[in-house]
């Protein structure tokens, strides 16, 4: 699910991604998430606004999951 406002957006995935690619375009105000293997887009925030703010990654890793950076 994507944390969108005012409610959460459920995501429909054909396969559980093993790797996720994140593309951030501050000038265009876009953040997109892709399956790094199949290159399929998972979700995109098309109207993100950063207004010169520093952007920090935030990850929530659920039980029995692993994160490698």
Closest to 11 in 3D by CA, of 60, 45, 36, 37 = 45
Kindly report the pTM of this predicted structure.
Answer: 0.74
Closest to 52 in 3D by CA, of 18, 27, 19 = 27
Closest to 40 in 3D by CA, of 59, 14, 66 = 14
Q: Could you report the per-residue pLDDT of 31-52, keeping only the tens digit for each?
A: 999 999 999 999 999 888 878 7
CB-CB contact of 50 with 26 (8 Å): yes
Q: Could you report the per-residue pLDDT of 15-33, keeping only the tens digit for each?
A: 889 889 999 998 888 999 9
d(CA 14, CA 24): 24
């Amino acid at each position: 699910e994507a944390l969108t406002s005012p409610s959460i957006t459920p995501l429909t995935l054909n396969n559980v991604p093993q790797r996720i690619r994140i593309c951030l375009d501050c000038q265009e105000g876009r953040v997109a998430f892709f399956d790094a293997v199949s290159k399929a887009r998972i979700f995109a925030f098309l109207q993100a606004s950063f207004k010169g703010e520093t952007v920090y990654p935030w990850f929530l890793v659920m039980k029995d999951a692993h994160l490698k950076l």
